[in-house]
Amino acid sequence: MTPLHALILAGLLVGCRGAPWNDPYPAADAGANTYYSAFTERPKHLDPVQSYSENEATFTSQVYQPPLQYHYYKRPYQLIPQTAVEVPRPMYLDAKGE
């Protein structure tokens, strides 16, 4: 067996292993139903007032809960309270503020 054949055989044997050799996740999580994800850009703001991009919303939604949310199934859309006690009722005012 030439050294080239031995090298190819070693490469094939490494490739036949059950898991990749460079797996970055802990071995204890191998059987767990865990979803790993990565973000492409670090968030610029974690303040919900200044945060406006989708990649920042991923982080701010885990920290801050909005007071209202939309009901998932109802059409037309309906607001329901999330951290608020109740949905605020709109007040219609004229030009004088009455």
Answer yes or no: is 60 within a domain.
yes
Beta bridge partners of 70: 79
Does some domain include residue 81?
yes
Length of the chain: 98
Residue 24 pLDDT class (50, 70, 90 cuts): confident
- pLDDT exceeds cutoff 80 at 34: yes
Rg of the chain over CA atoms, in angstroms? 27
Domain that holds residue 79: 33-85
**Does a structural domain hold residue 96?**
no
How many structural domains comprise the chain? Answer: 1
The per-residue pLDDT for range 69-79, each reduced to its tens digit, is 999 999 999 99
Rounded to whole angstroms, how far apart are CA atoms 79 and 70? 5
Distance separating alpha carbons of residues 82 and 89, to the nearest angstrom: 15
Q: Tell me what the mean pLDDT of segment 2-10 comes to.
A: 87
What is the reported pLDDT for 87?
A: 93
Q: Give CA–CA dist 69/83, Å, rounded.
A: 9
Whole-prediction pTM: 0.44
Query: Omega of the bond prior to 76 within 30 degrees of 0, cis?
Result: yes
Which one has a higher pLDDT value, 22 or 90?
90
